[in-house]
Structure 1
Amino acid sequence: MYIPAKYEEARTDILHGLIAAHPLGMVVTHGANGLSADHIPFEVSAPTADAPLGVLRAHVARANPLWRRDGAGVLAAFQGEARYVSPSEFEEKAVSGRVVPTWDYAVVHVHGALRAVDDPAWLAALLKRLTSRHEAGQSAPWAVSDAPPDYIGKLMAAIVGIEIRIDRMEGKWKVKPARPTP
């Protein structure tokens, strides 16, 4: 990604914040048939000694060939709010007219290797965390335990977990103000 210095954002907490606020990532892989992109909601873990930039975790359908790319390098892209910016929003328009339309946006690109996780206990814990997080704002939050156990078991057999240990992150904040405050 091209990032002019004035738009670069490298603070891990800010990059993680965008991922947490906009968890639907686009995972790009390259295989025998060329490039492929999957849109998957992720959670991002805090940095640890083993993963200084954190880890992305999610699940996919067992029928999705993505999880079979275990060990492959991937790019996961996350986009925050975006908006068109009209030249009429710039004071310079009235002064010289030397303005053009643009876009304001914030994005994070995560690079790492994909790891498939085919472990029912790991998946159950992930599903509970994701559900708790995304149901938190509902007036009557749903929980995994609200569904019959045999139904959940059948659905869990049809998914596989994935992890991406973050090796590198790039952030671009082309918005006003140019950089978020922690």
Structure 2
Amino acid sequence: MYIPPHFSETRPAELARLIAQHPLGALVTQRPQGLDAEHLPFVFDAHAGACGRLTAHVARANPLWQECAPGTPALVIFRAAEGYVSPGWYPSKHEAHRQVPTWNYEVVHAHGRLTIRDDERFVRALVGRLTKRHEAAQPQPWKMADSAPEFIDELLGAIVGIEIEVSALVGKRKLGQNKAPRDRLGAAEALAAQGNAALAQAMRAAGLSSTSS
């Protein structure tokens, strides 16, 4: 991934935050038929190993867990806020007409090696963590104990765990840091008016972080 210095994000806490808030990752691996991608919700443990550990699960019917040997190189892509930016949103465009369309976004690439965990205890604990996290905002959070044990056992038997020891996290936040403050904030206001509050807030915050750094 090409990353100009002003778009680089290297802070571990910020990279972990982006993954936690956008846990659906695209897992890219080399398979017998070529490159392939799976879209999976991940749990990221930032404190495991040198750069953290990612865990997820796939259906037992998915050939990934049989086609990928232990230690297979893996790339997981986490996409955060993103959106189109019109040049008309920059105040300076109307004065000098030297702006063009672009796309702003935040993304994290996690590099590592894949391990298959065909282990009922591992899978049960993983599903418990995923459920607890993503049900937390519900008025009455669902938990595995709400269902009959034999039903849960059957479902757990139909999935296989995967684990990725992360060797590097690479972050890019393209949020108009290369623009004049009034242009970046003008674009942020237009995005907010169109309903893209997440990208608008990220662009505003990018200005604050560059000022304080």
Q: TM-score, normalised on structure 2?
A: 0.81
Q: How far 1:71 sits from its partner (Å)? A: 1.8
Q: How far 1:94 sits from its partner (Å)? A: 1.3
The residue number in structure 1 matching 2:76 is: 76
The residue number in structure 2 matching 1:60 is: 58
Matched, 1:103 2:103: yes
Runs of 4+ in 1 over 6 A off after TM superposition: none
- Matched to 1:10, the amino acid is T
Secondary structure in 1 matching 2:131: helix
The residue number in structure 2 matching 1:88 is: 88
d(CA) in 1 for partners of 2:116, 2:2: 30
The residue number in structure 1 matching 2:17 is: 17
d(CA) in 1 for partners of 2:119, 2:134: 22
Identity %, equivalent residues: 47
In structure 1, runs of 5+ residues without a counterpart are none
Cα distance per residue 1:25-50 (max 9 Å; x no partner): 000111221110000000100224xx
d(CA) in 2 for partners of 1:102, 1:122: 43
In structure 2, runs of 5+ residues without a counterpart are 176-202
d(CA) in 2 for partners of 1:27, 1:180: 32
Higher Cα radius of gyration: 2
The residue number in structure 2 matching 1:39 is: 39
Judge which range, 19-28 or 168-177, deviates more: 168-177
Q: Report how many aligned residue pairs link the two structures.
A: 179
* Contact 1:7/1:179, CA 8 A, preserved across alignment: no
Matched, 1:130 2:147: no
Cα distance per residue 1:60-89 (max 9 Å; x no partner): 111112222132101100000111111111
The residue number in structure 2 matching 1:27 is: 27
Secondary structure in 2 matching 1:53: coil
Greater relative contact order: 1 or 2 (C-alpha under 8 angstroms, separation 6 or more)?
Answer: 1
Q: How far 1:58 sits from its partner (Å)? A: 0.6
The residue number in structure 1 matching 2:115 is: 115
d(CA) in 1 for partners of 2:81, 2:61: 31
Structure with greater helix share of residues: 2
d(CA) in 2 for partners of 1:97, 1:172: 28
